[in-house]
Chains A and B, each alone.
Chain A
Amino acid sequence: MEATAAPERRSGPGPAGAPDAPPSRRILVTGLSTYWGGLLAQRLERDPSIECVIGVDSRDPTRELERTEFVRVGTQHALLRRVVIAAEIDTVIDTRLTVDSTTVASRAAHENNVMGTMNVLAACGGSGSTVRKFVFKSSAHYYGSAQDDPAFFTEEMTRPYAPGTPIERDIVEAEASVADFAEKNPRTLVTLLRFANVLGPDVRTSHTKLLALPAVPMILGFDPRYQFVHEDDVVNALAHVVEHQQPGIFNVAGDGVLTLSEVAGMLGKSYAPALPPWGTGVAAAVARRLGVHIPPEMLGQLRFGRGLDNRKLKATGFRYRYTSRESVLKLSEHFRLHPILRAVEEPYHYEREVEEFLRWSPNVRDAAGRREEREDSGQPAELERRGAGERTPAPAIEGYDDLNASEIVPMVAALEPAQLSALREHERRSQDRRTVLAAIDKALARAENGAS
């Protein structure tokens, strides 16, 4: 507990007996092919202080990764353990947990959440293990939603009633085994993050699907309190606890608790009290037949809502980029743009041979070679880049170099053709992002068509 108050104090090697905390160098990400696993790996591999990032999953990765190594292992603990020992992994990040029962069948979810967690923990623990830090991504479904809940859950609270839905049962069970692991392996630093409902342009959850409907369905006579966290903040929070030594449980949720009617208002939608207050489960089953999936764990939230106290994580120095309200506003911007942008983004397909060629072939001189060169020389490469920036006219978007691709793409459409070609040149010389270039090309083509 003391450690959470002063993160700096523990950055050095701790006293004997306490979880010694060398900074994470060799990282294993489980669930690489899940949305979060992929994003986190992308984020971690950009950090030059991290020696290697290894991702495991039973399916192909869904995101383009530069130096992360993918190993096709499910949650068989014997295999995982061999990977862990062989690579001398010091940090394991478990992003595998399924928290949305609409995405997988409940038996598969149980297999993944409960048995999978046990196996991953078995691979990390025991004598001779090199793992010094274990980060577990959990969900605020742990707390459930009940009538006599407090308005803000703090980390040490438990749910007032036993969980009633399969997903919630799984999460409680998985957390119990993580707590058990923490007790039996005092030398491993265990961090558990409980995330509120995630919103964001890219992530697809049953909540974003529900909010994408023409009207937001609600239970008649109820206006639940909702707290959201933006997808960027999810990745930032995971990276934050990897970088800093923060044992314990933390809630991750944006500031501010909204009511669902307020959310509907911000999205510019009307709300439809379509679900009856009694027999809601039956109505949800009917809605499922009609193509609107309302999972059982969401029914509780639609009735009583949930608020989290996010201050413990903030006290460790983490800063949220978005409040709950801003996450909803970002989502509404996405809803407006999505129909236009759909064609620009090309889905990524994992090809084992290509990835291996890019990583290991001596003939590859492009990405990897350039990176090494830059790391070696450092200063000159930076200078060269700056020189290149001066030669091209400054981009028409303010603070362009600090924006990421998803933020730039929507702005591109508003530019003049001359500005577009300047921007294209600048992008090609500086960061050379494919999505941005594709968006600029598209806008240019549209401008030409308009002119002719």
Chain B
Amino acid sequence: MADEQRSSLRVDEVLPEGGSAPPAPVPARRDEDLREHLPGVEPERRLSDWGRSERIEGLFDRTLYDFFYNYWFRCEVEGVENVPASGGALLVSNHSGALPPDAPMIAKGIREEHAHPRQLHITVEHFFKGYPGFSMLVPKLGCVAAHPANVQRLLYDEGELVLVFPEGRKGSEKLYKNRYKLRRFGRGGFVEAAMRAQAPIVPVCVVGAEEAAPIFAHVGALKRLTGLIYFPITPTFPHFGVLGMLGYLPAKFKVRFLEPIYFDSEGLHEDKSLVQSVAHEVRARIQENLFEMVQTRKSVWFG
């Protein structure tokens, strides 16, 4: 016991020097269940502890999202019953578009079509937190930084829905010619997160986002000059300015939620080969369904 107590105070002082990005610290397993000690909800507040604002999200939902969902992209959702009605679940989706329109459409789809409408937490790159304006808006719309500890807290402690894009920016920066071909699925971190929280993974396929915001080329010099993560050439950007990012083409959207994958026993995440094979399996399922959906659609614009 003495050893344990001592080790509880010892913090490894391995601090990287300089600005190189360190590996994200993975939350250590808690010895006890702290879920009952989560802070209570204060009804007077209109923001959650994550910085999510009901007011601003509602405003976006009623105007911009509603317009895009119903009239511009004419979203079609299938298999929404695969999203659990309660408890944590990790939604894993393909990703595309310079300013990806897929995440809000998935969230809107669950709100509109699900028997128990739930809010969805969208993981985004840490990059957004450093950008003035974006850093104010993005958390208010229900986005959280893609940190393993954040995902763990949302899935396990709070039992919420979390959407991840394992392709990350490799997905959103891919060129039009590579459309619907999934990139590498990271290091399988999302599978580890789901296993640690014992939350099911729900694979999601989105068709239409690639055509709605195609990227034709990247300009490396301008990317370095502006400090953006990438500087794409799209039908409307950069010649229509920053708002050109929102100039999506009216492609028909189809969102398909696949059968969930459950992890019921503890400690699965320690098995790296299992993690990798599950990540591979999820990727294969999404890829297969994407090809099938593209194959059967008659028109990019009318579905």
Binding site for B on A (CB under 8 A): 1-5, 14-15, 17-19, 147-152, 154, 156-162, 172, 175-176, 178-179, 182-183, 186, 189-190, 192, 219-223, 225, 247-249, 255-259, 262, 277, 304, 307, 309-312, 314-315, 323, 325
Contacts and interface: CB of A to CB of B under 8 A. Distances in A.
11 contacts: A5-B32, A151-B50, A182-B5, A190-B9, A223-B140, A247-B9, A248-B9, A256-B45, A258-B45, A315-B37, A325-B42
B44 to A, nearest CB: 7
A271 B182 CA distance: 44
Given A223-B136, A255-B40, A323-B39, A158 B25 contact: yes
B271 interface: no
Contacts of A182: 5-6, 9-10
B149 A257 contact: no
Nearest to B31: A1
A161 B19 contact: yes
Interface in B46-71: 47, 49-51
Interface string B136-153: 100110001101111001
Contacts of A154: 27-28, 149
A148 B145 contact: yes
Nearest to A220: B132
A178 B9 contact: yes
Nearest to B28: A156
Give the one of A152, A159, A249, A312 with max B CB within 10 A.
Answer: A152
A150 B147 contact: yes
A183 B25 CA distance: 23
A186 B6 contact: yes
Given A19-B5, A315-B34, A323-B39, A183 B16 contact: no
Nearest to A325: B42
A151 B22 contact: no
A317 B23 CA distance: 34
B5 A323 contact: no
A179 B32 contact: no
Contacts of B22: 160-161
Contacts of B28: 154, 156
A256 B11 contact: no
Given A18-B1, A309-B153, A323-B39, 5 more contacts: A150-B27, A151-B147, A154-B27, A249-B11, A312-B34
A3 B145 contact: no
B219 interface: no
A150 B28 CA distance: 13
A150 B149 contact: yes
Given A182-B6, A257-B51, A162 B15 contact: yes
Contacts of A221: 131-136
A18 B42 contact: no
A151 B150 contact: yes
Nearest to B27: A154
Given A151-B147, A220-B132, A255 B39 contact: yes
Contacts, number: 161
A161 B132 contact: no
B91 to A, nearest CB: 19
A152 to B, nearest CB: 6
B273 interface: no
Contacts of A14: 1
Interface in B84-142: 126-127, 129-136, 139-140
Per DSSP, are chain A's interface residues mostly helix, strand or loop, or mixed? Answer: loop
A325 B51 contact: no
B31 A5 contact: yes
Contacts of B135: 221-223, 304
Contacts of B10: 179, 182-183
Interface of B: 1-2, 4-6, 8-17, 19, 21-22, 24-25, 27-28, 31-32, 34, 37-40, 42, 44-45, 47, 49-51, 126-127, 129-136, 139-140, 144-145, 147-150, 153
A359 to B, nearest CB: 37
B1 A15 contact: yes
Nearest to B13: A176
A192 B10 CA distance: 11
A311 B37 contact: yes
A256 B37 contact: no
Contacts of B5: 1, 3, 18-19, 182, 186, 189, 247-248
B8 to A, nearest CB: 4
Contacts of A150: 25, 27, 145, 147-150
A17 B2 contact: yes
A325 to B, nearest CB: 6
Nearest to A304: B129
A38 B166 CA distance: 53
A2 B4 contact: yes
B45 A325 contact: yes
B132 A219 contact: yes
A262 B19 CA distance: 32
B126 A148 contact: yes
B12 A158 contact: yes
Contacts of B16: 161-162
B151 to A, nearest CB: 10
Contacts of A159: 15
Nearest to A5: B32
Contacts of A310: 39
A3 B6 CA distance: 12
Contacts of B25: 150, 157-158, 160
A312 B130 CA distance: 30
Contact of B45 (A151, A262, A314): A262
A152 B140 CA distance: 17
Contact of A148 (B9, B24, B131, B153): B24
A277 B132 contact: yes
Which residue, B8, B12, B16, B127, has most C-beta atoms of chain A within 10 A?
B8
A147 B22 CA distance: 12
A312 B32 CA distance: 9
B235 to A, nearest CB: 28
B132 A262 contact: no
A16 to B, nearest CB: 10
Nearest to A305: B51
A311 B1 contact: no
A249 B13 CA distance: 15
Contacts of A152: 49, 149-150, 153
Nearest to A248: B8
B204 to A, nearest CB: 23
A149 B37 CA distance: 22
A174 to B, nearest CB: 12
